[in-house]
Structure 1
Amino acid sequence: MKKYLYITMISATVALACSSDKPEAETPQAVNENEVSLTQQQAKNINLEVGKVGFGNVNETLKLQGKIDVPPQNLVSVSIPLGGYLKSTKMLPGTHVNKGQVIAVMEDPQYIQLQQDYLNVSNKLSYASKELARQKELNVSKANSDKTLQQAETEYNNLLVEQNALSEKLKLININAAQLKGGKISKSVNVYSPINGYVSKVNVNIGKYVTPSDVILELINPTDIHLNLTIFEKDLSKIRVGQHVIAYTNVEPAKKYDTEVILISHNVSEGGRGEVHCHFEQYDQRLMPGMYMNAELQFGNQKVQVLPEDAVVSFEGKDYVFVENKPLNFTLTAVNIGETADGKIAILTDLKGKKIATKGAYSLLMKLKNAGEDEE
């Protein structure tokens, strides 16, 4: 019996010893999904090269967008100050007009009344002028009183003021008062173009009555068009009046237009954008107000960090480089890039002092992404 208990105790002791010798479960280590490592042979196979960023002078290009605009003095809204009915017009949007050309004919009974009033006042003024002269002669010999002379002068001056006022009203509807002396009255008046240009809008139809505030036609003189560009607040300090800007349309990008900065806005909108106005050095009839254009403004001799083009890889719309953490171990790092020239690409992200995979970066990207897919 004692022998049996002794054996049982030894067996239990051995069991506990065996269970204590089992290794504990290892804690999972976090893996950086943007890190990739190579063996010496893999680095040799992809011709891996590592180096630091260099510095060089490049021509930085600022790309902008905007649309063609026209200064206010080249936009004209045509109306009739006294209102009336549109009798006739041959104007259509796009019709070319010359300054002084008849663009519409208006008619209204008030035009007749205005001319009649002017002629009546003119006749009264003629009589008042003669009466004033007669009263002056009589006053010299004291055949009349000073009061009578003053009344004649007042009547003449009042009629003169009224005639001048009616004459100005007639000018508003393009009627020359001097031509009414013969008593010829017209029920219609002409509307003339104040500029050389094109009809951009026709807002009324024949027979419609328009008020003084209604715009009959809208005219535009496109010979002085300019390019209104939108620029971010951070880039405003780079722009100077007189700088050369190259512009082109999306429809014909190969056709370049030379423009010059003539005005920079001094206010910034809520979205952090300002405006830059550029003048076209040569007018082109194919350029119409409202058309959207792209523009490029170049800055010479900008000292920036540069890397070989092979050092930068693109993935899902972003640009990256591989920064070396330790020998043959790299981290995929996002960067902002600038212009590319002579096999070099400008790096806008600060990478000074860091070692970069200058050759073999694409192979590193493939290994990194393929490894991620395999783990999934």
Structure 2
Amino acid sequence: MSKNIIIIILAIVFLSSCRNKKTESETEATSTVGNITTLTDAQIKNAGIVTGKIEQKEVSSTLKLNGAIDVPPQSLVSISVPMGGYLKYTKLLEGMYVTKRQVLCVVEDQQYIQLQEDYLLAKAKIGYAKAEFERQRELNRSKASSDKVYQQAQSEYNSLSVMVQSYGEKLKFAGINPNNVSTKNISKSINIYSPISGYVSKVNVNIGKYVNPSDILFEIVNPSDIHLALTVFEKDINKLAIGQSVLAYTNTNPDKKYHCKIILIGKDFTENRSTEMHCHFTNFDKSLLPGMYMNAEIELKSQQSNVLPSDAIVNYENKNYVFIAKKNKQFEMKEVTVGIIENEFTEIISEDLNEATIVIKGSYSLLMKMKNVEE
């Protein structure tokens, strides 16, 4: 009986010893210090950990940008009335196409009548003044009149010449041809003509409204020079070139693509290290208006890049990490900067990992073991 008791006691002691050894082994296997964790051979096998090196692969990418429709100063015309007046007539609507020298509107005011009257009166007086000046000049040569009378006639003629010239230029400025003004042809209204061919982008007036010289009645856009201004950051400048194709689209209709070509890349950078890039539309769409926000995509050329299988990268607290295999079954968790993801490979921007041995399978299991131990 005593022999059986001894055997039972020995068995209990043996089992307790094994349990303690197992606990110690597990504790040692899952030890983590900082960003380095240590595993046993069994844990490495169970986690399916496989290591490898960074590879070189050709990676193509799409650069996404945003910006707005822009028009150079020479292609956006603001229409105003030089001397003001009441809007008598217009049929313009936004989106309409107008040709150069087409009548945009008719404006009338009393001041146009007064200006033509002043011009005709000055012209009438200058005829007499010229004849008197020439008569006094001949009399002065023969000493039949004094120098004073001659000079007065000359001054009167010169003053009226200036007035006629001045009134004539004012008529031209108001849009009235002086050659068409006569005692039988005085108009209270003027026509406003389009200086360019293009689309009406804005209509700011209505019939009967009084407009001042500073008021903008209409805006006309020359479609041949409308372009897309995109914001480009300094890090992407070397990926772009003049003549490169661009696909643009609006937020409201992203499926409709507008084909463009890069025509200009800015050289000056703002405080946030960005510049403007200008693109021409291959075909103009009148629905595209100045100031309209747009997105754009540019297919970049394939280039050799450092890549890892996407399974090698783990995301933790909004940061990307890989595990680097060290000696003695240790694995270091290291933050990396990633780029393009293509065909289950991810571009690695970090340049200090070229010689490192990196976990390419089992990274997530490593992360779980490390963070569970820390908790």
TM-score normalised over the length of structure 2: 0.78
Q: Distance in 2 between matches of 1:242 and 1:352?
A: 34
Q: Distance in 1 between matches of 2:173 and 2:159?
A: 22
Q: Distance in 1 between matches of 2:77 and 2:224?
A: 14
Contact 2:260/2:279 (<8 A) preserved: no
Output aligned runs, 1:232-271, within 5 Å.
Answer: 232-236=233-237, 238=238, 242=242, 244-249=244-249, 250=251, 251-252=253-254, 255=257, 257-266=259-268, 268-271=269-272
Q: Which residue of 1 aligns with 2:208?
A: 207
Q: Distance in 2 between matches of 1:33 and 1:287?
A: 56
Amino acid at match of 1:205: N
- Summarize the Cα distance change of 1:63–1:173 in structure 2 as closer, same or farther, 3 Å threshold: same
- Summarize the Cα distance change of 1:349–1:256 in structure 2 as closer, same or farther, 3 Å threshold: farther
Q: Which residue of 2 aligns with 1:221?
A: 222
Q: Distance in 2 between matches of 1:254 and 1:206?
A: 37
SS of the residue corresponding to residue 78 of structure 2 reads: strand
Q: Identity of aligned pairs, percent?
A: 48
Deviations 1:132-175 (A, max 9, x none): 33334444544333433332222222111111111111112211
Q: Distance in 1 between matches of 2:227 and 2:240?
A: 16
SS of the residue corresponding to residue 81 of structure 2 reads: coil
SS of the residue corresponding to residue 345 of structure 1 reads: strand
Amino acid at match of 2:339: G
Shift of 1:109: 1.0
Contact 1:75/1:218 (<8 A) preserved: yes
SS of the residue corresponding to residue 212 of structure 1 reads: coil
Q: Distance in 2 between matches of 1:255 and 1:231?
A: 20
Q: Which residue of 1 aligns with 2:49?
A: 48
Shift of 1:318: 4.2
Q: Distance in 1 between matches of 2:57 and 2:76?
A: 48
Output aligned runs, 1:130-209, within 5 Å.
Answer: 130-209=131-210
- Summarize the Cα distance change of 1:39–1:289 in structure 2 as closer, same or farther, 3 Å threshold: farther
Q: Does 1:112 align with 2:113?
A: yes
Q: Distance in 1 between matches of 2:369 and 2:229?
A: 47
Q: Distance in 2 between matches of 1:186 and 1:325?
A: 95
Q: Distance in 2 between matches of 1:257 and 1:43?
A: 53
Shift of 1:333: 3.2
Contact 1:222/1:288 (<8 A) preserved: no
SS of the residue corresponding to residue 187 of structure 2 reads: coil
Contact 2:32/2:38 (<8 A) preserved: no
Shift of 1:117: 0.3
- Summarize the Cα distance change of 1:256–1:112 in structure 2 as closer, same or farther, 3 Å threshold: closer
Bigger drift between 238-247 and 103-112 goes to 238-247
Amino acid at match of 2:244: H
Q: Distance in 1 between matches of 2:185 and 2:123?
A: 14
Q: Distance in 2 between matches of 1:335 and 1:261?
A: 36
Contact 1:262/1:278 (<8 A) preserved: yes
TM-score normalised over the length of structure 1: 0.78
Amino acid at match of 2:362: G
Q: Distance in 1 between matches of 2:192 and 2:205?
A: 14
CA-based RMSD:
3.2
Q: Which runs of 5+ in 1 are unaligned?
A: 1-28
Q: Which runs of 5+ in 2 are unaligned?
A: 1-29
Contact 1:260/1:281 (<8 A) preserved: no
Q: How many residues align?
A: 343
Bigger drift between 110-119 and 80-89 goes to 80-89
Contact 1:259/1:278 (<8 A) preserved: yes
Contact 1:195/1:221 (<8 A) preserved: yes
Q: Which residue of 2 aligns with 1:85?
A: 86
- Summarize the Cα distance change of 1:39–1:293 in structure 2 as closer, same or farther, 3 Å threshold: farther
Amino acid at match of 2:78: S
